Amino acid sequence: MSDCFDKQFEKIHAGKFTAAVIGLGYIGLPLLLRFAESGSEALGLDVDPAKIDSLSNQKSYIKHIPSERISAVYDKLAFSTDFEQLQKADVIVICVPTPLNQYREPDLSFVIDTVERILPNLRQGHVISLESTTYPGTTEEELLPRIESSGFKVGEDIFLIYSPEREDPGNQNFSTQTIPKIVSGHSANCLALAQALYDKVCDQVVPVSSTKVAEMTKLLENIHRAVNIGLVNELKVLADKMGINIYEVIDAAKTKPFGFTAFYPGPGLGGHCIPIDPFYLTWKAREYGVHTRFIELAGEVNNAMPDYVVEKVMLGLNQQQKSIRSSKILVLGIAYKKNVDDMRESPAVVIMDKLVKLGAVVDYSDPFIPVFPKIRNYYFDLDSVALTAENIANYDCVVIATDHDDFDYDLICEHARLIIDSRGKFKNDNENVINA
């Protein structure tokens, strides 16, 4: 054991450390608050000054994180865009995006740029934890050599951790504190510090033998969902052609107390994890000469679902002797899942774009997103439409893309001329409903 390790372990074990979290989005902000709630000093860093201003004024910009939670621990918090502030921290946690590029290959630019900005501010004893989802080998291949190029020895002077995030925004049953936390380290010293660190903010810590194992674990979790959703989406298309309600099938199947887990179809995959993470592994697999056909097939099925919904819109309008061109269509819900304000990779936005390109006049209604924000690849100059009886009746077609609990489905069913339901909110016996 090194003297540096002993000092850091004692400080973290005693809870007398400062934790800096870089990237204050859906992953970083709740983690930052957990550090503060556990009694540690917590520094939030982000390149977006608007986020820093909002947090400095004790205001949350994430729907499911109340401002009161920030106010409750405000004396433990500091916020900045200045990476020099990292010199005051003992722990640095990286929670930045890992998207795909235009070729559906991993884009690690946010991680690498963050590490490059950390390097001038490194000091002996720093514990660095990467939480961003990535392919197996990233911690060793990208972070380790950059850190050691600064003259520090990882495991003795600097301690490198990989601990994948497991947030589920909007889920009232699980939180940063209660979700079991996978931890790994580049060395035995790194792993010991990882366990001590996350034990302060999480109820259960699950150590694994290497950073590669932890990186692969996160991908397995999300690939498991992506593949099973792909399966049920494919079955939805088949069941529809056979005149079978797939939701009734799923409800019946899940009564089996063993060997079956219910997954539900939808208009496509959304969020930062499930539509993206499987392709991190398929990309890395090519290095080993492996073609991950199963994963890629699931991706093809899920990516085709917005087209399936649009086809149902065209079918429904045709049955009413209307062309999709110039038809007025209202898309209900543009978040990627219900009861959140997170639009990352939302299939609803893809559906909107396809409908507009076909000549439709498209509006949206979402209680969590009052104004359509500027997001990557898509933008509509629109405000959310109020769901009144008069407004609903004014549209040729209503598309349920995200099944928020706040929607009044009885009102929708009563006044909509045509409903394309991609979330199974209505039964087949509603004359104005087409399941998609």
Catalytic residues: 273
* Whole-number Å distance between alpha carbons of 363 and 398: 10
Cβ-based burial of 279 (10 A; exposed 0-12, middle 13-18, buried ≥19): buried
* Whole-number Å distance between alpha carbons of 266 and 304: 11
Identify which of 273, 157, 288 has the alpha carbon closest to the alpha carbon of residue 212: 288
List the Cα angle 138/141/345 in 5-degree steps.
25
Distances (CA, A) of 387 to 371, 409, 416: 15, 10, 11
The one-letter amino acid at 340: V
List the Cα angle 192/94/57 in 5-degree steps.
120
Distances (CA, A) of 189 to 156, 161, 196, 200, 432: 8, 10, 11, 17, 63
* Whole-number Å distance between alpha carbons of 425 and 241: 19
